[in-house]
């Protein structure tokens, strides 16, 4: 980019404050370690350096709607996360922890997308050709139209793309790519942003559907804090617990479909396998009628998934009892414990508390409050929750049970898996009236919920 090079300044990635020298802390907003080196133009650009004008203003109603060209990969859970299929010219960012399966997923998807006349080009900056071959064999990739290359320099990549003219392009990972026009090191914010920016421009001009793979930093953002998320059309996160085989593909942003969608995979010897019916899988090893176990219907996007929440409450020998959670927000659990103590009268103060979502899934919905609270109460009272009962509802600070979104979808999934009863907010139950095949128990407060489950 002519004219983009100039003098170097340090810019706070949080508030935009600029200084000439690096500082550990931004003097403007107080953020630590937020300054990154950037190049700013030294003076105004001359006429020749300006980019060509892209369009002239015109009435909105004169614009022609672009007919979105979409291609489904046939990898159902991947397509689902993308809102049905891959859109031509769109840029998708796939983020996730190292080793979670991003390269595997993109290779499997590209292999299915690449056909005669619509080639896929996968560019790796992390692995050698020999490693790629090993992986491809393991995954059983077979499309003759999937090309691979090992390269990290953006200018070379753009040349390759010009030669090959692929329909689909993947860069694994964006943090290893760099443009030779900037002196900054690969992986630095300036490099990541500039390379991504130019790839996005290319995608819009050529119509190549582009996948950028990005590693997530410790803070949980894709390096180059947020800059990438703003640049691209779609942001997907692949997550899961490495000690479990489940992988969840979450849609965080999507200009071409609903967000909050969720694809479910299982990592096997031969790559990621789709899990079209996750509830059955998550409940496969369920222990029936054990104190502390509750099944909750979580709703991720439009998709209901039944998962088992387990709690263990036992007297502590420590001055400061332990509270450990996996898959649920510890703050939310603390809040529920406080409500159980204060509004229900269960004295959990001196107890060690453990809460776990089975299968290594992470759940954030408030609709799971009631289930988590009942799992805690069930373990504390040492009385099991009936195995045929599904539990959902948000719990407020006064112990009231509130309605949640899309109850029918949750109930249908429960009925499909053989649940005969559901405990939910009374207002919601009244609103629903009858639900064929299931008995609905409506409750106003957490205390009533506990009384009706453990009479
Ligand atoms: P990978 O796709 O390399 O992760 P990322 O690109 O997100 O860093 O996947 C890494 C892990 O997946 C690795 O530990 C091995 C495992 N794996 C399988 O279990 N089966 C497979 O077929 C493949 C290719 C990988
Ligand atoms: Mg990888």
Q: Which two tokens stand for residue 204?
A: 């819009």
Cα–Cα distance, 19 to 26 (Å, whole number): 9
C-beta of residue 234 within 8 angstroms of C-beta of residue 85? no
* Arithmetic mean of pLDDT, 50-79: 82
Residue 2: the pLDDT is 42
Say whether 339 sits in a helix, a strand or coil: helix
pTM for this one?
A: 0.80
* Arithmetic mean of pLDDT, 366-388: 96
Which residues sit opposite 303 in a β-bridge? Answer: 300
* Confidence band, pLDDT 50/70/90 cuts, at residue 246: confident
24 lines ligand 1 (CB under 6 A): no
Which residues sit opposite 149 in a β-bridge? Answer: 123
Would you identify the CATH topology of the domain 69-276?
A: Rossmann fold (3.40.50)
Q: Which two tokens stand for residue 51?
A: 């980019």
Nearest residue by C-alpha to atom 16 in ligand 1: 101
Nearest residue by C-alpha to atom 14 in ligand 1: 99
Q: Which top CATH class is 280-453?
A: alpha beta
CB count in 10 Å sphere of residue 343: 17
Give per-residue burial for 219-239: e unless 16+ CB within 10 Å, then b: eeebbbbebbbebbbbbbbbb
Which residues sit opposite 316 in a β-bridge? Answer: none
Q: Looking up tokens 């001196």, which residue turns up?
A: 350
pLDDT single digits (tens) 378-387:
999 999 999 9
Q: Looking up tokens 């953002």, which residue turns up?
A: 221
pLDDT at 220 over 60: no
CB count in 10 Å sphere of residue 393: 31
pLDDT single digits (tens) 110-125:
999 999 889 999 999 9
- CA of residue 96 to ligand 2 center, whole Å: 10
Residue 61: the pLDDT is 85
C-beta of residue 214 within 8 angstroms of C-beta of residue 166? no
* Arithmetic mean of pLDDT, 146-162: 96
Which residues sit opposite 120 in a β-bridge? Answer: 146, 168
Domain boundaries, the chain: 6-43, 69-276, 280-453
99 lines ligand 1 (CB under 6 A): yes
* Arithmetic mean of pLDDT, 438-445: 96
Strands (E), 269-377: 271-274, 293-300, 303-315, 323-326, 351-357
- Closest atom of ligand 1 relative to the 107 alpha carbon: 2
Q: Looking up tokens 């222990």, which residue turns up?
A: 287
Cα–Cα distance, 255 to 201 (Å, whole number): 16
Cα–Cα distance, 92 to 100 (Å, whole number): 18
Contacts of 210 (CB under 8 A, 6+ apart): 90, 91, 92, 168, 169, 170, 171, 199, 200, 202, 203
Shortest-distance ligand to the CA of residue 100: 1
Say whether 139 sits in a helix, a strand or coil: helix
pLDDT at 94 over 60: yes
Cα–Cα distance, 289 to 385 (Å, whole number): 6
Give the alpha-carbon dihedral of 165, 212, 360, 269, to 10 degrees.
40
Pairing of the two strands 7-12 and 18-19:
antiparallel
pLDDT at 415 over 90: yes
- Closest atom of ligand 1 relative to the 238 alpha carbon: 7
Tell me the pLDDT of the chain averaged across its residues: 89
- In the chain, the N- to C-terminal Cα span, in Å, equals 72
Residue 225: the pLDDT is 46
Q: What element of type H or E holds 292? A: none
* Confidence band, pLDDT 50/70/90 cuts, at residue 35: confident
Cα–Cα distance, 256 to 235 (Å, whole number): 11
Instruction: Give the residue among 406, 428, 408, 399 at the shortest CA–CA distance from 338.
Output: 399
175 lines ligand 1 (CB under 6 A): no
Cα–Cα distance, 111 to 124 (Å, whole number): 15
Q: Looking up tokens 């502590």, which residue turns up?
A: 316
Shortest-distance ligand to the CA of residue 101: 1
Q: What is the DSSP string of 155-202?
A: HHHHHHHHHH--SEEEEE-GGG-B-TT--SPTTSHHHHHHHHHHHHHH
């Amino acid at each position: 980019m002519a004219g983009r090079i100039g003098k170097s300044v340090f810019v706070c990635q949080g508030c935009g404050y600029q200084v000439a020298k690096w500082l550990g802390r931004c003097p403007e907003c107080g953020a630590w370690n937020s300054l990154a080196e950037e190049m700013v133009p030294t003076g105004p650009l001359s006429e020749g350096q300006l980019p060509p004008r892209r369009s002239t203003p015109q009435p909105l109603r004169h614009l022609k709607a672009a007919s979105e060209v979409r291609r489904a990969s046939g990898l159902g859970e991947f397509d689902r996360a993308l809102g049905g299929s891959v859109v031509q010219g769109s840029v998708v960012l796939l983020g996730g922890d190292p080793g979670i399966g991003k390269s595997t997923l993109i290779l499997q998807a590209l292999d299915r997308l690449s056909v005669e006349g619509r080639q896929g080009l996968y560019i790796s900056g992390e692995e050698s050709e020999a490693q790629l071959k090993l992986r491809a064999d393991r995954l059983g990739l077979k499309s003759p139209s999937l090309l691979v290359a090992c390269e990290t320099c953006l200018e070379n990549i753009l040349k390759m793309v010009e030669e090959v003219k692929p329909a689909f392009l993947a860069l694994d990972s964006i943090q290893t790519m760099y443009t030779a026009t900037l002196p900054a090191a690969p992986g630095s914010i300036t490099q990541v942003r500039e390379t991504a920016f130019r790839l996005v421009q290319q995608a819009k001009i050529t119509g190549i559907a582009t996948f950028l793979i990005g590693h997530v930093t410790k803070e949980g953002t894709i390096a180059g804090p947020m800059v990438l998320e703003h640049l691209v059309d779609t942001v997907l996160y692949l997550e899961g617990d490495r000690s479990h085989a489940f992988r969840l593909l979450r849609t965080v942003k999507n200009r071409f479909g609903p967000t909050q969608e969720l694809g479910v995979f299982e990592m096997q010897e031969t790559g990621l396998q789709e899990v079209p019916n996750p509830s059955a899988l998550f409940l496969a090893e369920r222990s029936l009628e054990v104190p502390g176990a509750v099944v909750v219907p979580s709703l991720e996007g439009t998709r209901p998934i039944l998962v088992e929440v387990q709690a263990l409450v036992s007297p502590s020998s420590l001055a400061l009892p332990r509270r450990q959670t996996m898959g649920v927000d510890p703050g939310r659990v603390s809040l529920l414990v406080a409500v159980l103590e204060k509004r229900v009268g269960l004295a959990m103060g001196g107890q060690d508390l453990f809460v776990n979502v089975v299968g290594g899934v992470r759940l954030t919905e408030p609709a799971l409050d009631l289930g988590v609270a009942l799992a805690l109460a069930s373990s504390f009272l040492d009385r099991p929750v009936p195995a045929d009962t599904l539990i959902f509802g948000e719990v407020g600070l006064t112990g009231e049970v509130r309605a949640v979104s899309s109850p029918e979808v949750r109930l249908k999934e429960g009925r499909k898996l053989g649940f005969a009863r559901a405990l939910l907010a009374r207002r919601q139950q009244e609103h629903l009236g009858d639900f064929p095949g299931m008995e609905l128990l409506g409750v106003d407060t957490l205390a009533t919920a506990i009384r009706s489950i453990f009479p």
